[in-house]
Amino acid sequence: MRKIIWPPHRWAECRRLAYRILAVAGIAVAPAWATGSELSREDIQWLDRVTYGPSTVTVDEYLKLGRRRFLDEQLHPKDVRLPQPAADQIAALDISHSAPADLLAAVYKEQQRINALPDETQKQTDRKALNDRGNKLAYEAARSEILHALYSPAQLQEQLTWFWLDHFSVFQYKANDAWLVGDYADHAIRSHALGHFRDLVMATLTHPAMLQYLDNAQNAAGHINENYARELMELHTLGVGSGYTQQDIQELARVLTGVGVNMAGNEPKLKPEWQRLYRHQGAFEFNPARHDFGAKTLLGQRIDGSGFDEVEKAVDVIVAQPACAQFVSRKLAIYFVSDNPPRSLTDRMAKTFQKTHGDIADVLETMFKSREFAASLGTKFKDPMHFVISTVRLAYDGKPIVNTHPVMNWLNALGEAPFGRQTPDGYPLTESGWASSGQISRRFEIARNIGSGNGGLFDPEDGTPATTSGFPQLSTRLYFSAVEPFLSGNARTALNHAGSQLEWNTFLLASPDFNYR
């Protein structure tokens, strides 16, 4: 990297001067808001919450539509197409061309072949090749998430996709999940992210990634595994301490017997009376031969043995609990409003949830239009995902990246890699989970790393030569209209002491101003 060291005070002056020249020279093409004060501090803080942070495209759209219509489009996105450069990258991924059932069947076949190999060394080599291939697909899934978060016009849907991926967390290194996380994100999560909560529960419940991750694929009559049943109530729907008992967990585990994964892709041979109860879709299957058909009592309601219908009924019972509305509303409010959201707000959100049978967009509308939300702007500490994505949106505004490895490395270093949470509770949503002394110093180091150069963001992943390059230019028009006017005195002082662009970038990205949304 080329390092230019300027005398600190001179350097800051040069920057200001350079910008003035730029501003004058570029006035004809500058967006209207770039020179005026059309955007208030509150506008920017509002955009920092509803989106992954301002970019020129987002700000233009916001000014064109006005806040009310902008929010409406975010809550009910019609156009979710990514801009061409990002869409092309996603279209070129292997995960965009393969059905998870086919992938699993191929993995299964390959695993059988490997297990039958006589030579131990060959076994290990082939197993490693298979794992590498799985990890490549999991990386593609993460790549797709990052590109969506950076460039989708449906910014709120993307935040919700991340939120639900974390709420219904799966881990790429469990069982064969590496092969499945891409499909899980696209089809179990993103397509329901602003829809009905019950659909999300069913979509995750019937997805092989979840069934493998929480061991329900192994849950069968006489071989009960209660792992998923417990987390389904504790982490996905009701919350611990909401009133269900160990007995309820055991009963739900019985309901879930036979809900599993068909790796090989062959339909099992079943007794005639079971054949009509067999269900499958892709690699998901409900196998009546593995199901406990005894009657169950869940949360006080009797569920008679009838096969997969029991699961539908159990989910109906669970999501209709007032505790579910409260639990989900509170979690959304923690993500979008405050580490400790006021009860007045979560009660109203829960009311909307119950009235609309869990319409997520409606619950969010209640939240975004509340005075509690307005009063909270600028006070949420960015988690690493928000930090990294908002940084790239600002630093490479209008210049789409073609390589997501650096972004993955930053997320990894900060401890929030997509599909990388081992435990099913998902990543922390509050400041205390991300702002310890060790995490802050790490974040500053990553800020420096991001500020020090593009780190390969513009080197195509297929190895073809880069057609463009770029240094993180944080002092863009976007910066001068969306960031600079609202900087705190402390941040200004630090920026004035910067001895190089690298330092200036580092201080800006490390500032309290930039680390809260």
Q: How many residues does this entry show for the chain?
A: 517
Instruction: Please report how close the Cβ of residue 142 comes to other proteins at its closest, in angstroms.
Output: 19
Distance between CA atoms of residues 208 and 297, nearest Å: 26
Neighbouring C-alpha atoms within 13 Å toward the C-beta of 190: 18
- Quick check: helix, strand or coil at residue 249? helix
Query: Which residue, 4 or 28, has its beta carbon nearer to other proteins?
Result: 4
Instruction: Please report how close the Cβ of residue 177 comes to other proteins at its closest, in angstroms.
Output: 14
Distance between CA atoms of residues 435 and 247, nearest Å: 38
Please choose, from the candidates 246, 269, 101, 266, the residue with its C-alpha nearest in 3D space to the C-alpha of residue 187. 101
Query: Which residue, 43 or 251, has its beta carbon nearer to other proteins?
Result: 251
Instruction: Please report how close the Cβ of residue 444 comes to other proteins at its closest, in angstroms.
Output: 6
Beta bridge partners of 297: 302
Instruction: Please report how close the Cβ of residue 299 comes to other proteins at its closest, in angstroms.
Output: 16
- Give the residue carrying structure tokens 């109860």: 277
Query: Which residue, 397 or 503, has its beta carbon nearer to other proteins?
Result: 503
Query: Which residue, 118 or 438, has its beta carbon nearer to other proteins?
Result: 438
Name residues whose C-beta falls within 8 Å of residue 400's C-beta, 6 or more positions apart in sequence: 83, 85, 86, 150, 151
Please give the structure tokens belonging to residue 337: 């409003």
Distance between CA atoms of residues 88 and 80, nearest Å: 14
Name residues whose C-beta falls within 8 Å of residue 374's C-beta, 6 or more positions apart in sequence: none
Query: Which residue, 460 or 512, has its beta carbon nearer to other proteins?
Result: 512
Query: Which residue, 135 or 500, has its beta carbon nearer to other proteins?
Result: 500
Is 300 exposed, middle or buried (CB count within 10 Å of its CB: 0-12, 13-18, 19+)?
exposed
Instruction: Please report how close the Cβ of residue 311 comes to other proteins at its closest, in angstroms.
Output: 19
Binding site for other proteins (CB under 8 A): 215, 218-220, 222-227, 230, 234-235, 240-241, 246, 415, 422-423, 425, 428, 432-442, 444-445, 448, 490-491, 493-494, 497, 503, 506-507, 510-512
Query: Which residue, 220 or 311, has its beta carbon nearer to other proteins?
Result: 220
Q: What is the dihedral of CA 63, 404, 412, 494, to 10 degrees?
A: -50
Please give the structure tokens belonging to residue 61: 């759209």
Beta bridge partners of 296: 303
Instruction: Please report how close the Cβ of residue 223 comes to other proteins at its closest, in angstroms.
Output: 2
Query: Which residue, 89 or 346, has its beta carbon nearer to other proteins?
Result: 346
Name residues whose C-beta falls within 8 Å of residue 157's C-beta, 6 or more positions apart in sequence: 74, 77, 80, 190, 193, 194
Instruction: Please report how close the Cβ of residue 414 comes to other proteins at its closest, in angstroms.
Output: 10
Instruction: Please report how close the Cβ of residue 31 comes to other proteins at its closest, in angstroms.
Output: 30
Query: Which residue, 185 or 414, has its beta carbon nearer to other proteins?
Result: 414
Instruction: Please report how close the Cβ of residue 139 comes to other proteins at its closest, in angstroms.
Output: 20
Interior/surface letters 438-453, b for 16+ CB within 10 angstroms, e for the rest: eeeebbeebbbbbbbb
Instruction: Please report how close the Cβ of residue 448 comes to other proteins at its closest, in angstroms.
Output: 6
Query: Which residue, 438 or 465, has its beta carbon nearer to other proteins?
Result: 438
**Taking a C-beta distance cutoff of 8 angstroms, is the pair 241, 234 a contact?**
no
